[in-house]
């Protein structure tokens, strides 16, 4: 049972958390209304405790006020869809950058440690004459075919992610440009900043930490084959999460 204005406002603040400027205005208006009602009741002869209880009873519960605020501030379907599209645009761009970083890290691992650190063919794989010719080995030598196959996989792990990263840079550049165009505001306006930044930090960072831990444990147990690919994936995910972390921390710590 809420029977003091201070407790009421604390509860209302919790319910309005994350609603931005509109939520702050509702809280300020509620505080002003309640304090004014209490002062009038005290002037009429009521005690402060009784005045606060009566003012709260007339004003309505914090849940009712927060619910009314949410209903009044709900976006039309097209506007909500536009914000989802904007968030997807931004997140896709950041994910593409992370994939591009994976390609860079894989290339570094190949140069410094060796191709088997990022990819390998199973020992029992059979290389047909046709497959060897596809890999550029005409004499059908198994060792040469295996080396060519690994080199082919390395090329895929490096060049394809780098291409995705380059495309992501274009995607993010277009997003930045589109945000300056008033006519495109409907599809470039992001949802609540705290929600986007927290989702990015937790989503990318969480997956990155899991992959990084998997690769680190495998490396610690002496595994040296294909571990680099997992480490590259984990480091890229963590890097993407760090892009969102400062803003997410600022919003969370301010609550």
Measured CA distances, 249 to 118, 198, 244, 255 (Å) = 34, 8, 9, 10
Position 42 confidence tier, pLDDT thresholds 50, 70, 90 = very high
The C-alpha atoms of residue 131 and residue 235 are separated, in whole angstroms, by 34
The secondary structure of the chain as a DSSP string is: ---SHHHHHHHHHHHHTT-HHHHHHHHHHHHHHHHHHHHHHHHTT--HHHHHHHHHHHH--HHHHHHHHHHHTPPPHHHHHHHHHHHHHHHHHHHHHHHHHHHHHHHHHHHHT-GGGT----TT----HHHHHHTT-SS--HHHHHHHHHHHHHHHHHHHHHHHHHHHHHHHHHHHHHTT-GGGHHHH--S-HHHHHHHHHHHHHHHHHHHHHHHHHHHHTT--SSHHHHHHHHHHHHHHHHHHHHHHHHHHHT-
pLDDT for the residue 97: 97
CB atoms within 10 A of CB 132: 20
Average pLDDT over residues 169-185: 93
Residue 39 has what pLDDT?
Answer: 92
Name the average pLDDT for the chain. Answer: 89
What was the pLDDT predicted at 218? 94
CA 129, CA 141: separation in Å to the nearest integer?
9
43/250: higher pLDDT: 43
Q: What is the pLDDT of residue 252?
A: 73
For residue 23, what pLDDT is reported? 81
Identify the burial level of 92 via C-beta atoms within 10 angstroms of its C-beta, where 0-12 means exposed, 13-18 middle and 19 or more buried: middle
pLDDT digits (tens, 9 = 90+) for 232-253: 999 999 999 999 999 888 877 7
At 72 the pLDDT is: 59
Mean pLDDT confidence for 142-152? 90
**pLDDT tens-digit series, residues 52-98:** 989 888 888 888 888 877 665 556 778 889 989 999 999 999 999 99
Hey, how many other C-beta atoms are within 10 angstroms of the C-beta on 26? 21
pLDDT at 108: 97
Q: What would the mean pLDDT of 13-37 be, rounded to a whole number? A: 84
Q: Which two tokens stand for residue 61?
A: 């519960």
CB neighbours of 228 closer than 8 A, spacing ≥ 6?
105, 106, 109, 110, 113, 117, 118, 215
Q: Which residue has the higher pLDDT, 251 or 117?
A: 117
Is the full-model pTM beyond 0.85? no
Contact partners, residue 44, CB within 8 Å, separation at least 6: none
Give the pLDDT confidence score for residue 190 in this predicted structure. Answer: 87
Report residue 255's pLDDT band, with 50, 70 and 90 as the boundaries.
low
Once rounded to an integer, what is the mean pLDDT over residues 163-189?
A: 94
pLDDT of residue 84: 92
Question: Which carries the bigger pLDDT value, residue 72 or residue 203?
Answer: 203
Closest CA to 235 of 210, 218, 217: 210
pLDDT at residue number 199: 93
**Residue 109 — very low, low, confident or very high, per pLDDT cuts 50/70/90?**
very high
Q: What is the mean pLDDT of residues 28-36?
A: 91
CA atoms within 13 A on the CB side of 71: 6
Residue 150, number of CB atoms within 10 A of its CB: 19
């Amino acid at each position: 049972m809420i029977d003091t204005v201070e407790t009421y406002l604390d509860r209302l603040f919790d319910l309005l958390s994350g609603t931005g400027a509109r939520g702050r205005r509702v809280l300020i208006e509620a505080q002003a209304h309640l304090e004014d009602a209490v002062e009038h009741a005290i002037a009429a002869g009521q005690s402060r405790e009784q005045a606060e209880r009566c003012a709260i009873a007339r004003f309505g519960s914090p849940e009712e006020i927060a619910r009314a605020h949410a209903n009044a501030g709900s976006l039309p379907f097209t506007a909500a869809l536009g914000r989802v599209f904007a968030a997807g645009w931004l997140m896709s761009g950041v994910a593409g950058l992370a994939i591009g970083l994976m390609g860079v890290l894989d290339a570094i691992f190949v140069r410094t440690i060796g191709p088997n650190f990022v990819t390998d063919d199973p020992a029992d794989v059979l290389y047909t004459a046709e497959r060897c010719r596809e890999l550029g080995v005409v004499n059908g030598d198994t060792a040469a075919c295996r080396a060519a196959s690994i080199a082919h996989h390395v090329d895929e792990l490096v060049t394809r992610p780098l291409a995705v990263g380059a495309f992501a840079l274009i995607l993010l550049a277009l997003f930045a440009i589109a945000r300056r165009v008033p006519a495109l505001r409907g599809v470039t306006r992001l949802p609540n900043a705290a929600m986007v930044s927290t989702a990015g930090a937790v989503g990318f960072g969480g997956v990155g930490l899991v992959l990084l831990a998997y690769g680190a444990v495998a490396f610690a147990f002496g595994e040296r084959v294909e571990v680099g690919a997992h480490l590259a994936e984990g480091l890229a995910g963590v890097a993407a999460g760090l892009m969102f972390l400062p803003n997410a921390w600022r919003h969370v710590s301010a609550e």
